[in-house]
Structure formats: C-alpha cells, structure tokens
Amino acid sequence: MDTNKGAPAGAQNKGQNHSLFEQPRKAASGIVYSGAVAAMLIFSLVYAVTLALVAQALGMTTAQLQQTQACRYISYLVSDAAFLAVIAAFVKIYKEGPKQFGFCAFRPRYAVLALLLAFGTLFSLNWVNTGLAALLERFGYTVPAADLPSLEGAGFFGVLLVVALLPAFFEETLLRGIVLSGIKDCGTVAVCLLSGLLFAVLHMNPVQTVYQFICGCLFALIAVRSGSVIPSMIAHFANNAVILLDAKFLFFTNLSGTPLYILCALSAAALLAVLAWLAFFDKSNARKKEGAVKPFLVPAAVGLAVGALVWAVNLASGFGG
C-alpha cells in the first residue's frame, strides 16, 4: 500500500507540503470518499424512482414491490454498484493498479488476527448497538428493521454474497484500500481514527454509529500493520457472516446466562489481545505523523457533511415514525 508508487510526477506526499495541489494523491483519497457518498445517494435515488415507476406499471404499491425477494436483493446491491463505479473511475483516472492500494501478499498470521478481531468485536461489543438502541427507544426512537432476503435453503448463500461478501469487498477496497493508501503519512493513530469516522458516516446508521466507528478504526489498524487490505476484508466479511448466521440459526440471540457470559468474556479477551498486539507489539509499517491531514479533509468534507446530514435525517425519521 505504497502511497507514492504510481503517482504522477510531483504527486509524492511530503511533510512540508500542505497545499491541496501539492499532494494530489491525498486529495484524490478525499475526492474518492466524497464521490462514494454522492454516488451512493444518486444510485439510491435512481433506484427509488425506478421502483416507483415499476410498481405503478405493475399495479402495486412501492411498499409491496419492495417486499419481493428480487427487490430485497437489489436494495443491498445499490451501494455496492455505487462503490464499484467510484473505484473503477479512480483506477481509470489515476492509473493505479490493485497492488498499489492494498491488494498484496501478507503474512498468514494477519488472517488469524483478522478472524480473532471479528470474533472480539462482534460478541464483546454487541452491547454497544443494543445499548444505544435501547437508549434511543426510551426517547421514542423506532429502530428500523433489516429487510433481508429469505435465508431459507440455498437462499442463505445468496444473502451471504450480497450482504456479507460484496459489502466487505467494496467498502474495504474503498476505505482501507484507496483512501487509506493516500493518507498513511498522517500517522497510524490519525489514520485509524479517520478511517473509523469515514466508515461510520458512510453507513449513515444512527444506531450502529459507535460500533461502526470502532470497527473502522480496528480494520484500518490491521490493514496498516499487514500492509494489505485483505485482512481487513476477512475481518469485515467474518463480522457480517456471523450476523447472518445468527439471523438464521439464532445461536447468539437465544444465548443467555453463563454460556453468554463465557462467550462475551472470551470475545473481550480476544479483542484486547489482538488490539494490544497490533498497537503495542507489532510495529510493522508503523508511521509517525509526517504529512498534513488538510489536503485530504478539504475534498472529503463534502462527503462527510452530506453523510452527516443524511445520518441526522435518518435519526429524525426514527423519532417521527
């Protein structure tokens, strides 16, 4: 994940250059993020309009059409299609290959650490989501239900593809791949915190904001340490996949008492162990702050502002209905 390789002449990030135009690769990361937010909203709008027109033509309500299996699948693919368009545009315009933004070999131990990270975050931090949801509900908030396609039979594998695998691939390619490779000289701590913020805002989900921020930070840390985006994809996919497995089999939802406490304790121990190792013992690709954040934040501010606005609208709509 070399920030300089493949960049046009003069694009190399230098600590003393703070201008947007003196650090075009860093600015490109900000543009990519804002582009992803914009593309996601545009694709969602096009899908909503198309859905309304098709429903009218079929003599159905939009709500009825949305409940069909085909539309449930498509609704999950809209964001992926938007991210694919942005990634493809970046590759075409900036002439970077996958290896330059993180698709490279890594030590096998990082795959194990990625799985432990997913196990650690999912079970020991599940209370973050449930606790925040409970708090909001006390003030009249209605937590939106996830309209998953059918998990019955072979349908589970289709859901695994569109809800777990594809989002992990595209979101990690975008955030821990293209974006992170342009801002690594901001320092490991800053990069992880920025990545958490970008990840949380991109999802625009009030209930999951804190959990997604933490996951974004941790995914960035393992991407930095491994020098590859693939371990963060493994962690992201594993997280999504276990949630789907629980939705189908309810192995975690139905857990209570001592077994639940043991699982959460083991999960917390795994999370703390992996975090301690990556933060304090594994110094691979460690970077001190060398470059300015501003060349990234200026173009990324549009995406952050729009994402935050949609987040606020989603929060308000939860109280309104």
- pLDDT number for residue 127: 87
Prediction pTM value: 0.90
- pLDDT number for residue 320: 75
Q: What is the number of other CB atoms lying within 10 angstroms of the CB of residue 191?
A: 24
The residues of the chain scoring below 50 in pLDDT are: 1-21
Give the helix/strand (H/E) hosting 269.
Answer: helix 257-276
Six token digits for residue 254: 């139905």
User: Which residue's structure tokens are 């991210």?
Assistant: 83
- pLDDT number for residue 16: 44
d(CA 40, CA 224): 26
- pLDDT number for residue 272: 97
d(CA 10, CA 25): 10
Q: Nearest CA to 228 among 321, 107, 316?
A: 107
- pLDDT number for residue 145: 84
Q: Kindly report, residue by residue over 155-186, the tens digit of the pLDDT.
A: 999 999 999 999 999 999 999 999 999 998 89
Q: Kindly report, residue by residue over 240-257, the tens digit of the pLDDT.
A: 999 999 999 998 888 899
d(CA 235, CA 241): 10
Q: What is the dihedral of CA 131, 135, 141, 146, to 10 degrees?
A: 0
Q: Kindly report, residue by residue over 261-293, the tens digit of the pLDDT.
A: 999 999 999 999 999 999 999 988 876 667 788
